[in-house]
Amino acid sequence: MDLTYPVIVAAAKTWFRLSAMDIHMSGTEHIPTSGGALVAVNHVSYVDYLMGGYPAAQRGRYTRFMAKKEIFDVPVGGPFMRSFGHLEVDREAGAASMRTAVDALRGGEIVGIFPEATISQSFLIKELKSGAVRIAAEADVPLIPIVVWGTQRILAKGRKIDLSRHHRIDIEVGEPMRPTGEDPAAETAELKTRMEQMLERCILAAPESERPAGAWWLPQQYGGSAPTIEEAAAAYKEERRLRAEAKAAKKRR
């Protein structure tokens, strides 16, 4: 029985209302009202779990997101995540994590995955991991792309939270794919193309006043000043190097 999820969904809707959040959502009819489905969500902020699960919530469903093991290892975060039925992903045990997702899907759940694996600091669609199409194929369920836009202005990586009112958020739910798993690379490329097209529609749907020249939350190709995909990748590589050094130093101590 879900005890935590309904409370959080109700709290989120209250937040949306009190903050006069300007949410534009389309394609929710692609979320099935019963049976398993895998939703693949882009990742631009720390609130994408909330927005990525909103379409399913509007259809009376809860999304069980796949999340890295480290979150479940935190004393407070772990029990909280498990109370939602989210799925633990151990990047060093990919097969087991994939099996957990497949079992949940075959059990009729909606499972959420971030196929970029990490937050995109360029705010564009990064290279996707093939896990999404392989999981959907093995579980024999639809793979549904979801793109969220505008969440980075609330809580982006490396920036302070902004809870001001009237944030515009765009959410597009795309048509389902039915991966076969015969060519995961090609099917992943197709998923990426679809998500890129959806993202562009979301970006351009906002009025020009929401896309000021040089805005940090806009990709450079749309007139903003966000890092390019290459610059963001280099920054992430350096971040991982520093994190590994810090972890090694802690072990030595």
Predicted pLDDT at 97: 83
Predicted TM-score (pTM) of the model is: 0.93
Residue 49 lies in a domain: yes
Higher local confidence (pLDDT), 235 or 172? 172
Q: Are the C-beta atoms of residues 156 and 199 closer than 8 Å to each other?
A: no
Residue 176 covered by a domain = yes
Higher pLDDT residue, 236 or 150? 150
The whole-chain average pLDDT of the chain stands at 93
- Which pLDDT score is estimated for 99? 92
> Could you tell me if residue 84 is inside a domain?
yes
Q: In the structure encoding, which two tokens stand for residue 157, read together?
A: 């990586």
CATH classification at residue 96: 3.40.1130.10
**Residue 231 domain-assigned?**
no
Q: Does residue 250 form part of some domain? A: no
DSSP secondary structure, the chain, as one string: --SHHHHHHHHHHHHHHHTT-EEEEE-GGGS-SSS-EEEEE--SSTTHHHHHHHHHHHTT--EEEEEEHHHHTSTTHHHHHHHTT-EEE-TT-HHHHHHHHHHHHHTT-EEEE-TT-S--TTSS--PPPTHHHHHHHHHT--EEEEEEESTHHHH-TTS-----S--EEEEEEPPPB---SS-HHHHHHHHHHHHHHHHHHHHHHS-GGGS-TT-TTS-GGGT--PPPHHHHHHHHHHHHHHHHHHHHHHHH-
pLDDT value at 178 more than 90: yes
CA 159 to mean position of chain CA atoms: 18
Per-residue pLDDT at 52: 97
The pLDDT of residue 90: 77
pLDDT for res 228: 95
For residue 133, is it within any domain?
yes
Distance CA 14, CA 36 (A): 28
Which stretch of 24-28, 178-182, 233-237 has the lowest confidence by average pLDDT?
A: 233-237
Q: What integer is the mean pLDDT of 206-234?
A: 95
Task: State the pLDDT at residue 93.
Answer: 64
Q: pLDDT tens digit string along 12-61?
A: 999 999 999 999 999 999 999 999 999 999 999 999 999 999 999 999 99
Evaluate whether residue 225 is within a structural domain.
Answer: no
pLDDT of residue 149 exceeding 90, the answer is: yes
Asked if the structure places residue 81 within a domain, the reply is: yes
Cβ–Cβ < 8 Å for 50, 167: no
Number of domains present in the structure of the chain: 1
Half-sphere exposure of 142 (CA within 13 A, CB side): 16
User: Is 80 exceeded by the pLDDT of residue 64?
Assistant: yes
Q: What's residue 233's pLDDT?
A: 92
| Model confidence at 253: pLDDT above 80 | no
- State the Cα–Cα distance between residues 51 and 234, nearest whole angstrom: 28
In the block, residue with structure tokens 């995109």: 120
Q: Which domain holds residue 165?
A: 4-213
Confidence of residue 84 (pLDDT cuts 50, 70, 90): confident
